[in-house]
A and B are shown apart, each in its own frame.
Chain A
Amino acid sequence: MTSRTTRSLAQRSLKGRQLAAISVVAVAALGLAACSSGKSNAGSSGTPTSGGSSSTTASASQPAPSGSSAGGDLNGGKPVTLTWWHNANTDPGKSAFQKVAADFHAAHPNVTINVQPFQNEDIKTKIPIALQGTPPDIFQQWGGGALAQQIQSGKIADITQFTQSWIGDLGKGAAGWAVDGKQYGVPYDYHVVGFWYRTDLFQKAGISDPPATLDDLLSDITKLKAAGITPIALGGKDKWPDAFYWENFILKECPQDTIVSSLNAKKLSDPCFVKAGDDLKKLIDAKPFNSGFLSTSAQQGAGSSAGLLANGKAAMELQGDWEMAVIPPLTSDKQVASKMGFFPFPSVSGGQGTPGAALGGGDGFSCSTKAPDACAAFLQYLTSVPVETELIKANAITIPSNGKATDAIADPTLKKVLAYLQGVTYNQLYFDQYMTAAIGNAINDAVSNFIAGQGSSADLAGTVAKAASQ
């Protein structure tokens, strides 16, 4: 879960109080195919009246790990066992989630949660198959275009009535788990992508400030190479880290309206998309990446791109906030966290990108139709301030979906990331999640091939329309 694995949904949410002011942004940032869905989502999540519409959620409205509430109302008081598939198959996430399930059962004895952790790539394969038969009752959900496809199975519960009293606590980001104004899932954390770097290696190469522009970045790459340091680690085997580069360049080259309307039209015809490819080419030509980056995985082991950064064998990596959770287990250096810094993706000269734009997403869960009220109550409990605070302390999540739980973030670098995120006005969901799976996969493949030296910037921009036509 702490990985990008984690990736998912769209715009990261800011605090709830900012909701109304940025509904226009929500429209654009909205994860789904149609702009209209965004508008209605923002509306529903923006009216967090405390009463709620459903009495069934009442018993769970005050989540208490100590089990003080009876919980007899859920599922009509009848015993029910919910199967929970999540991707936190390693500690600390695994134990943390196990505890959440046990505590919820203690508070609601008739609801038993059968926890089944899976490796992230496995769960991605298992969920579509399960949705063709009997799906698990609570399962990993990254929202966006894939969610819109999954609900066509008719096996994902519309939990709007159970969530509307509290979904506002999760900010406008929760709209990414909604389709056409109906809530089909709930995020438990949010993500934003930027450059992670080793402050010690930057110092060694004589770089005082992290780069703010592409030109700065290119000159820093030269400095790092001169100092014998691999400038950037890239997990090209997994493809999505490749796509982060192109998508970030697009955010710098193209204004928000252009990006959102082009993605929704499934056609990237504006010249700015080609420019983004040219920018990426400029970066690739500087040869900043680790040796063998085309077959390097992103997060598995010391030889992965995260591992290279963790062990000081590369100076930078473009990754999400989860990096701070991924890195420590990959090195014996106990001080690694204090050596990490974060800077936003550098700007490009003449770029038309909307200021305050960033790439991000989040992790969440969807419910089956078996006992949606109990499932929604569980998700409410999971995303409540005390539980998310615990999850942060356990290092199971980095940036909580519940804005009020962000106080628990202690790491100074992560605090900087949080501050950056709170200043983001337009958080575009990773393209591969925003689009349908087929188009998203095609984007990742195309950027990966581009970085391997195949195809032109124009071909790259044409990928979306080509994939949409198939």
Chain B
Amino acid sequence: MSTQSRTTTRPGEPGPGVGPSGEALGPDRAKARSGPRSSLRQRTELTILLGPALVLFVGFVLVPIAVAVYYSIYKWNGFGPLKDVVGFGNYRRALTDTVFLHSIIHNVIIAGLSLLIQLPLSIGIALLLNRKIRGRTFLRLVVFAPYVLSSAVTAVMWSLMLQPGGFIDHLSKAVGIGAHTWLADIHIVLYTIFVVASWQYMGFGIVLLLAGLQGIPSELREAAALDGATAWQTTRMVILPLLGPTIRIWIFLSMIGSLQLFDLPWIMTGGGPANASSTMSTYLIDKGFHSYEFGYGSAVAVILFVICFVFALLYQRFALRRDTQGALTRMVR
């Protein structure tokens, strides 16, 4: 994922797109237009390069989506034959279920907070770590380290620190906030989870932004300095605009991640207490697997998919269009 992102961050360069289909189809189509030189060779190439990816993509992405859509029109507990057609009944039920609607809101809150808090923080830290400071490599390692841990480990570790009388309580008492039941208070729990998610995922974003920063030629910075620009002006007028493509990719990944947030709330709270930290994904797993409502769960999965897909399409169309010109925009259009 990071290599893909890195290539797309080079402005103006028609690199491979994010989607598997876009990756291969863009250049190939262009080639096909230039006239068939050796159609057999081309076909072999296509088959070898495209085949495996296409099989995987169809088998593990398209088919499951189709199957989920099919299941979603049934009331089905996962065991008997599919016979109880309810049409859009499952969708209607999901969209009128306050728990599910609240779950969507929780996802949106997480996404919003990511934009407002994680992004500025990440850019700031990335700018700092891009300067020649002592122990830079070590600091970069430290920042990236949480991302290396699996979500399960992160969740269990934080659950232990956040439990009543735990490390965080000692810390918060020391700084005068006082002890709280961080995961048991329905007014706080979602924000607690956001903090943990930030701790885990910010490192990845920072590394992404650092890669983007390194793609900015130092000549530009020097030229700005020669023109008498202050450090702030250089950052504001030169660096940030050139970092734009990376930031847009960061936003894209962050939004999709926020909409699909599952592992941390699932392990830390199970979506509770009183559904205060439920997300679309925890809701879907709870209904599908714990309630044996596979038809309804599939409908929820389809809704989640549509939300993410529509967001991704719109974002590609309007925000990423310039960055990925020649690769994905053609497909999207």
Contacts and interface: CB of A to CB of B under 8 A. Distances in A.
A303 B160 contact: yes
B292 A292 contact: no
Interface of A: 124-125, 128, 131-132, 146, 149-153, 236-239, 290-296, 301, 303, 436-438, 440-442, 445, 448-449, 452-454, 470
A182 to B, nearest CB: 16
Contact of B80 (A152, A236, A438, A453): A152
Given A437-B290, A442-B291, 8 more contacts: A153-B78, A153-B79, A237-B270, A291-B164, A295-B268, A437-B291, A453-B274, A470-B296
Contacts of B78: 128, 131-132, 153
Given A124-B290, A442-B291, A436 B270 contact: no
Given A124-B289, A238-B270, A452-B273, A292 B181 contact: yes
B77 A436 contact: yes
Interface stretch (B23-31, B42-50, B182-190, B310-318): B182-190
Given A236-B272, A438-B292, A448-B273, A295 B184 contact: yes
Given A132-B78, A149-B79, A152-B80, A295 B181 contact: yes
B174 to A, nearest CB: 19
A452 B269 CA distance: 14
Given A152-B79, A153-B79, A438-B291, A452 B270 contact: no
B79 A128 contact: yes
B115 to A, nearest CB: 27
A290 B163 CA distance: 11
B184 A293 contact: yes
Contacts of A438: 77, 291-293
Nearest to A151: B79
A454 B164 CA distance: 23
Nearest to B181: A292
Contacts of A146: 292
A436 B185 CA distance: 31
A387 B296 CA distance: 43
A116 to B, nearest CB: 19
B93 interface: yes
27 contacts: A128-B292, A149-B79, A153-B79, A153-B80, A236-B184, A236-B273, A237-B270, A239-B272, A291-B165, A291-B184, A292-B181, A294-B186, A294-B272, A295-B163, A295-B189, A295-B268, A295-B273, A296-B163, A296-B184, A436-B292, A438-B77, A438-B291, A438-B292, A441-B286, A441-B291, A445-B275, A454-B274
A452 B186 contact: yes
Contacts of B79: 128, 131-132, 149-153
Contacts of A290: 164
A153 B292 CA distance: 12
A294 B272 CA distance: 8
Contact of B274 (A132, A291, A452): A452
Given A449-B274, A470-B93, A237 B164 contact: no
A82 B296 CA distance: 33
Interface string B71-106: 000000111100000000000010000000000000
Report the 5 A-B pairs with minimum CB-CB distance, sorted nearest first: A294-B273, A152-B80, A295-B183, A437-B292, A452-B274
Contacts of B80: 149, 152-153
Nearest to A449: B274
Most chain B CB atoms below 10 A, which of A131, A132, A294: A294
A295 B272 contact: yes
Contacts of A124: 289-290
Contacts of B292: 128, 146, 149, 436-438
Interface of B: 77-80, 93, 160, 163-166, 181, 183-186, 189, 268-270, 272-275, 286, 289-294, 296
Contacts of A303: 160, 163-164, 166
A107 B281 CA distance: 47
A153 to B, nearest CB: 4
Nearest to B273: A294
A296 B163 CA distance: 8
A153 B164 CA distance: 44
Nearest to B285: A125
B158 to A, nearest CB: 12
A193 B184 CA distance: 25
A438 B185 CA distance: 27
A448 B270 CA distance: 12
A124 B285 CA distance: 12
A292 B183 CA distance: 7
Contacts of B184: 236, 291-296
Contacts of A149: 77, 79-80, 292
Nearest to A155: B79
A124 B275 CA distance: 21
A296 B77 CA distance: 30
B290 A295 contact: no
Contacts of A293: 184
Nearest to B292: A437
B211 to A, nearest CB: 37
Nearest to A238: B270
A132 B80 CA distance: 9
A47 to B, nearest CB: 30
Contacts of B286: 441
A440 B164 CA distance: 30
Contacts of A436: 77, 292
A236 B273 CA distance: 8
A448 B185 CA distance: 14
Contacts of A440: 291
A372 to B, nearest CB: 18
B160 A301 contact: yes
Nearest to B166: A303
Nearest to B89: A470
A291 B163 CA distance: 9
Contacts of A150: 79
A130 to B, nearest CB: 11
A245 B78 CA distance: 30
Contacts of A236: 184, 272-273
A345 to B, nearest CB: 24
A294 B162 CA distance: 13
B152 to A, nearest CB: 11
Nearest to B268: A295
A450 B163 CA distance: 22
A294 B268 CA distance: 11
A303 B93 CA distance: 37
